[in-house]
């Protein structure tokens, strides 16, 4: 009986997740030159995708790799070799509904900006937090935001600030992982105590 109840609760959630994912894909496919892109690294890109997909004005988020020297890296390259890449998400957004500054605030609220070794239970260079900028305006916004946070917390923000170069899309099985592998994702997220750490920092 408990299993049946669990399935009844889970299936509608999965159904709604899939509808949202497909809607986002259709919108992007239609093409809109007014959409913009932002890039953030906050540890596990599965979790970052989930966080940004909920935001009004975000058309789609994609998991991938940025910041390293190796072209077209695989997941194994990034995790097990010193390629310099970090797990990154590409966020396509409508600037009429949200802004880079607002997305940056979402980024902060979903990471531990005081951890220089990685994020939550994922440690290593590929899991470092990075705020990428594409131009001087975005760099100013990031630096001002860091200054404000350091004044608020009276502690150094160790999140890196990098000039964006290239984004390599991750393997298909990583895309929308939180939707396609809902139960496995929840198990991982809970084991990492991600929510507990975030609540402690930001609440």
pLDDT tens digits for range 65-99: 999 999 999 999 999 999 999 999 999 999 999 99
Q: What is the pLDDT of residues 160-195, one digit of tens each?
A: 999 999 999 999 999 999 999 999 999 999 999 999
Alpha-carbon distance of 201 to 166, in angstroms, equals 31
Q: What is the DSSP pairing of strand 160-163 with strand 86-93?
A: unpaired
**Does CATH place domain 2-202 in 3.60.150.10?**
no
Alpha-carbon distance of 103 to 85, in angstroms, equals 21
pLDDT at 14 over 80: no
Residue 10 confidence (pLDDT): 42
Query: What percent of the chain stands above pLDDT 70?
Result: 85
pLDDT at 7 over 60: no
Catalytic residue flag (residue 44): yes
Residue from 11, 44, 121, 192 carrying the catalytic annotation: 44
């Amino acid at each position: 009986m408990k299993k049946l109840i669990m399935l009844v609760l889970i299936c509608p959630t999965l159904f709604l997740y899939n509808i949202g994912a497909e809607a986002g894909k259709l919108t992007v496919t239609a093409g809109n030159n007014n959409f913009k892109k932002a890039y953030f690294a906050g540890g596990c890109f599965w979790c970052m995708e989930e966080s940004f997909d909920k935001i009004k004005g975000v058309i789609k988020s994609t998991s991938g790799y940025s910041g390293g020297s190796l072209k077209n890296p695989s997941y194994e390259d990034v995790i097990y070799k010193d390629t310099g890449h970090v797990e990154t998400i590409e966020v396509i957004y409508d600037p009429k509904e949200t802004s880079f500054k607002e997305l940056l605030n979402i980024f902060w609220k979903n990471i531990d900006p005081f951890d220089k070794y990685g994020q939550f239970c994922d440690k290593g260079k590929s899991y470092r937090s990075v705020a990428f900028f594409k131009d001087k305006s975005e760099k100013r916004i990031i630096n001002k935001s860091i200054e404000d946070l350091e004044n608020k917390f009276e502690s150094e923000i160790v999140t890196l600030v990098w000039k964006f170069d290239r984004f390599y899309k991750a393997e298909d099985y990583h895309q929308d992982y939180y939707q396609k592998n809902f139960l496995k994702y929840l198990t991982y997220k809970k084991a990492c105590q991600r929510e507990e750490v975030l609540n402690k920092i930001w609440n």
